[in-house]
Amino acid sequence: MLPQTPQDTASRATLHMVAKLHYESDMPQVEIARKLGVSTATVSRLLTRARALGIVKIEVMDLAIPDEITTRLIAALGLKRAAVVDTPSTGVLASLAAPLGALLKEEKLKKGAVIGIGWGRAVREVIQAGLPGIPNVQAVALNGGLQQSAPHFQINEFVRQAAEQFGGTAHFLHAPYVSTVELRDAILSDPFVRKVTTLWDTMDCAIVGIGLPHAINPPEASAATINEQSIGGAVGDVIRHYVDLDGNLLPWDGEASMIAASPDQLRNVGLSIGVAATVEKAPGIIGAVRSRMINALVTDTATALAILEICAAKP
**Among 163, 262, 153, 254, which residue's Cα sits nearest to residue 209?**
153
DSSP assignment string, 63-103: P--HHHHHHHHHHHHT-SEEEEE---SS-TTGGGHHHHHHH
Is residue 199 a contact partner of residue 268, using CB atoms and an 8 Å limit?
no
> What is the domain extent for residue 109?
66-313
Maximum CA pair distance of the chain?
Answer: 88
> What CATH number did the domain enclosing 42 receive?
1.10.10
CA dihedral (278, 283, 286, 292) positive or negative: negative
How far is it, in rounded angstroms, from Cα 23 to Cα 9?
21
- In whole angstroms, how far apart are CA 224 and each of 161, 228, 256? 25, 6, 15
86 in the same domain as 23: no
Give the CA radius of gyration of the chain: 26
Q: Residue 135: in which H helix or E strand, if any?
A: none
Q: What is the pLDDT of residue 230?
A: 67
Provide φ and ψ at 249, rounded to 5°: -75, 140
Is residue 127 a contact partner of residue 155, using CB atoms and an 8 Å limit?
no
105 in the same domain as 214: yes
Is residue 206 a contact partner of residue 272, using CB atoms and an 8 Å limit?
yes
- In whole angstroms, how far apart are CA 120 and each of 2, 85, 98, 221, 253? 62, 20, 18, 13, 22
200 in the same domain as 128: yes
92 in the same domain as 13: no
Say which residues have a Cβ less than 8 Å from residue 38's Cβ, sequence separation at least 6.
none
148 in the same domain as 113: yes
The residue among 52, 75, 90 that closes a domain is 52
CA 33 to chain centre: 46
60 within some domain: no
Q: Residue 83: in which H helix or E strand, if any?
A: strand 81-85
How far is it, in rounded angstroms, from Cα 139 to Cα 149?
22
Q: What is the pLDDT of residue 6?
A: 43
Surface-to-core class of residue 264, CB atoms within 10 Å of its CB (0-12 exposed, 13-18 middle, 19+ buried) = exposed
Is residue 171 a contact partner of residue 142, using CB atoms and an 8 Å limit?
no
pTM listed for this prediction: 0.78
Q: What is the pLDDT of residue 1?
A: 39
122 in the same domain as 21: no
> What CATH number did the domain enclosing 177 receive?
3.40.50.1360
Q: What is the pLDDT of residue 26?
A: 85
How far is it, in rounded angstroms, from Cα 39 to Cα 310?
49
Beta bridge partners of residue 85, listed in sequence order: 300
90 in the same domain as 15: no
Say which residues have a Cβ less than 8 Å from residue 248's Cβ, sequence separation at least 6.
291
Q: What is the pLDDT of residue 226?
A: 57
61 within some domain: no
Beta bridge partners of residue 1, listed in sequence order: none
Give the number of domains in the chain. Answer: 2
3-state secondary structure of 51: helix
Say which residues have a Cβ less than 8 Å from residue 157's Cβ, sequence separation at least 6.
none
- In whole angstroms, how far apart are CA 270 and each of 65, 73, 104, 166, 294? 28, 19, 11, 18, 10
94 in the same domain as 29: no
Ranges of residues in the chain whose predicted pLDDT is under 50? 1-7
Q: What is the pLDDT of residue 3?
A: 43
